[in-house]
Amino acid sequence: MRAVRYHDYGGSEVLQVDDVDRPEPADDEVLIEVVAAGINPVDTYFVAGSYEPFTLPMIPGVDAAGDAVEVGAAVEGVSEGDAVVATGLSKDHYGACAEYVAVPSDRLAVLPAGVDVVEAGGAGVAAVTAWRALIDHAGLEPAETALIHGGSGGVGHAAVQIASVAGARVVTTAAPAYHDRLHELGADVVLDYGRDDLRDAVAGAGAPDVILDHRLDDYLQFDADVAAHDGRIVGIGENDPEIGFTNDGVARGKDLTYQFMSMFNTPRLADPLERVAYLLGEGDLEIEVAPTYGLDEVATAHEDVMADSFLGKLVVTP
- pLDDT of 179-223, one tens digit each? 999 999 999 999 999 999 999 999 999 999 999 999 888 898 999
Q: Is residue 274 part of a domain?
A: no
Q: Point out the domain boundary residue: 263, 278, 306.
A: 263
Q: Point out the domain boundary residue: 263, 278, 299.
A: 263
Structure confidence at residue 216 (pLDDT): 84
Q: Is residue 269 part of a domain?
A: no
Q: Using CA atoms in the order 267, 78, 23, 54, what is the torsion angle rounded to 10 degrees?
A: 0
Of the chain, the percentage scoring pLDDT greater than 70 comes to 97
pLDDT (tens digit per residue) in 220-246? 899 999 999 999 999 997 666 566 667
* Whether residues 32 and 75 fall in one domain: yes
Burial of 16 (0-12, 13-18, 19+ CB in 10 A): middle
Q: How many whole angstroms separate alpha carbon 226 and alpha carbon 173? A: 14
Structure confidence at residue 242 (pLDDT): 64
pLDDT (tens digit per residue) in 6-52? 999 999 999 999 999 999 999 999 999 999 999 999 999 999 999 88
Structure confidence at residue 16 (pLDDT): 98
Structure confidence at residue 218 (pLDDT): 85
Q: How many whole angstroms separate alpha carbon 86 and alpha carbon 121? A: 8
Cα angle value 82/87/93 (rounded, 5°): 105
* Whether residues 258 and 132 fall in one domain: yes
**Total count of domains within the chain:** 2
Closest CA to 297 of 19, 45, 12: 12
Residue 309: band (very low, low, confident or very high) from pLDDT cuts 50, 70, 90: confident
Q: Is residue 275 part of a domain?
A: no
Of the chain, the percentage scoring pLDDT greater than 90 comes to 91
* Whether residues 209 and 91 fall in one domain: no
* Whether residues 149 and 222 fall in one domain: yes
* Whether residues 132 and 70 fall in one domain: no
Q: Is residue 10 part of a domain?
A: yes
Residue 157: band (very low, low, confident or very high) from pLDDT cuts 50, 70, 90: very high
Q: Which residues pair with 293 in a beta bridge?
A: 316
* Whether residues 248 and 291 fall in one domain: no
Q: Is residue 75 part of a domain?
A: yes
Mean pLDDT on 143-150: 98
Residue 57: asked if its preceding bond is cis (omega within 30°), the reply is: yes
Q: Is residue 116 part of a domain?
A: yes
Phi first, then psi: what are they for 311, rounded to 5°? Answer: -95, 120
One-letter amino acid identity for 166?
A: A
Q: Is residue 271 part of a domain?
A: no
- Residue pair 281/111 in contact (Cβ under 8 Å)? The answer is yes
* Whether residues 55 and 176 fall in one domain: no
Q: Point out the domain boundary residue: 248, 263, 278.
A: 263
Q: Is residue 171 part of a domain?
A: yes
* Whether residues 237 and 310 fall in one domain: no
CA 237 vs CA 100, 115, 310: distances in Å: 28, 28, 17
* Whether residues 134 and 216 fall in one domain: yes
Structure confidence at residue 306 (pLDDT): 93
* Whether residues 44 and 142 fall in one domain: no
Mean pLDDT of the chain: 95
| Domain span holding position 14 | 2-123+287-316
- Residue pair 171/145 in contact (Cβ under 8 Å)? The answer is yes
pLDDT (tens digit per residue) in 64-86? 999 999 999 999 999 999 999 99
- The CATH number linked to 69 is 3.90.180.10
Taking 60 as the threshold, does the pLDDT of residue 248 lie above it? yes
- The CATH number linked to 229 is 3.40.50.720
* Whether residues 103 and 189 fall in one domain: no
* Whether residues 107 and 169 fall in one domain: no
